[in-house]
Amino acid sequence: MLLHIVQNAYRAYVSVVENNVFNFYFYSLQLFGFVVGYQSFLLLKSCPRHVAEDRRFNRKLFLNIALIVLTTLPTFVFTPIGIIPSCVLLITFIMSISTHRSAGAANHFSKQDQRIEVRQRGELVS
């Protein structure tokens, strides 16, 4: 996204120098880049909290994913590359739901791990 912003800033600069005109097209590209960049920043900020928590469903994280998908998916009409963020986040959402253990499962597996460790050390298991 940063390269998108830099490229469009350069194009806007060249347009202003050659034509003395700054049109809405370049402004909208810059604004779109900043909006999606900020949404991505919010998503990255909520990721460590989701990984550290016991809950499988983190509402804030999934709302951030949905917001980016809703922002970038309509761009597929203009350019096929616009669907890439939506596809990547959809895959991430599905994998997050399927791999992140719930609190009950995490406790169950940690107790099993403790029993296995005790058996490996040769201690008595109750």
Neighbours of 44 (CB within 10 A): 10
Helix (H) or strand (E) holding 26: helix 24-52
Q: Is the pLDDT of residue 1 over 80?
A: no
Q: Looking at the predicted structure, is the pLDDT value of residue 123 above 70? A: no
Q: What DSSP assignment string belongs to 38-71?
A: HHHHHHHHHHHHHHHSS-S--HHHHHHHHHHHHH
pLDDT (0 to 100) of residue 3? 77
Task: Say what the pLDDT of residue 39 is.
Answer: 92
Confirm whether pTM is higher than 0.85.
Answer: no
88 or 19, higher pLDDT: 88
Which segment, 6-10, 64-68, 100-104, 122-126, is predicted with the most confidence on average? 64-68
**pLDDT in the model for residue 41:** 92
